[in-house]
């Protein structure tokens, strides 16, 4: 995406690696003017297995743990190919009453999730982790952050829920919805970060990127 505001105007590097399949995260990073190289360390089934929660796992701890696992997997695979640069990983989870609502596996599960979110307030946690990977395989300034937003849905009509599920949109999204899609018309109020709910909180992410670059520059390890 072309923008008159270049990354260096905001203290950002010109390029980052993104260890995520999410087109939304890619688009959000590109709004910062960054050149984004997507690197996928795992196949889809491997990535899904990585996101499996432990029994009764706290949603906030879960999203941080999975994000760090994604970053570690990307760094290991990138070392093997002798890549270098700033690497980012992220994960988003929806939580209701302390329970994790992941990506629905079928229509019945999607319906149950959407019905449970109807006329309630839930949490959306997005964790981001990053590091600077050097050509010698070492890393500098590994850092992570997490952003939590609260989302209030008005009542979701059953006719809408059924049609929404039939559209296929809920099946690759935590909590069975995307706020940037048609389901956004039923979001009464949010407290937090709209981009974070989409999958990447831009404020926290840009702060993290700047920190990693600053530390790498201070140690003269930019390569």
Given CA atoms 59, 62, 68, 69 in this order, what sign does their dihedral have?
A: negative
3-state class (DSSP) for residue 12: coil
Determine whether 136 is an active site residue. no
**Residue 142 CB contacts under 8 Å (≥ 6 apart), including other chains:** 71, 129, 130, 131
Integer CA distances (angstroms), 17 to 88, 132, 165, 199, in order: 6, 10, 33, 16
Catalytic residue among 58, 91, 136, 223: 91
| Of 51, 41, 219, 35, residue with least CA distance to 140 | 219
Active site residue ranges? 91
């Amino acid at each position: 995406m072309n923008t008159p505001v270049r990354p260096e105007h905001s203290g950002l590097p010109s390029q980052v690696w993104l260890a995520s399949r999410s087109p939304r995260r890619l688009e959000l990073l590109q709004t910062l003017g960054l050149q984004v190289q997507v690197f996928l360390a795992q196949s889809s089934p491997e990535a899904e297995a990585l996101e499996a929660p432990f029994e009764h796992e706290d949603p906030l701890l879960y999203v941080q743990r999975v994000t760090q696992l994604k970053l570690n997997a990307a760094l290991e695979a990138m070392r093997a190919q002798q890549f270098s640069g700033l690497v980012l990983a992220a994960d988003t989870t929806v939580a209701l009453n302390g329970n994790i609502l992941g990506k629905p596996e079928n229509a019945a599960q999607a319906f149950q999730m959407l019905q449970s979110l109807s006329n309630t307030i839930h949490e959306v946690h997005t964790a981001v982790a990053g590091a600077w990977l050097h050509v010698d395989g070492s890393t500098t300034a590994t850092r992570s952050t997490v952003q939590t937003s609260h989302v209030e849905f008005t009542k979701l009509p059953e006719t809408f829920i059924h049609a929404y599920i039939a559209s296929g949109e809920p099946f690759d999204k935590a909590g069975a919805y995307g706020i940037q899609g048609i389901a956004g018309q039923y979001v009464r109020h949010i407290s937090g970060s709209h981009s974070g709910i989409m999958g990447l909180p831009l404020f926290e992410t840009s702060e993290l990127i700047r920190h990693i670059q600053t530390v790498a520059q201070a140690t003269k390890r930019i390569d």
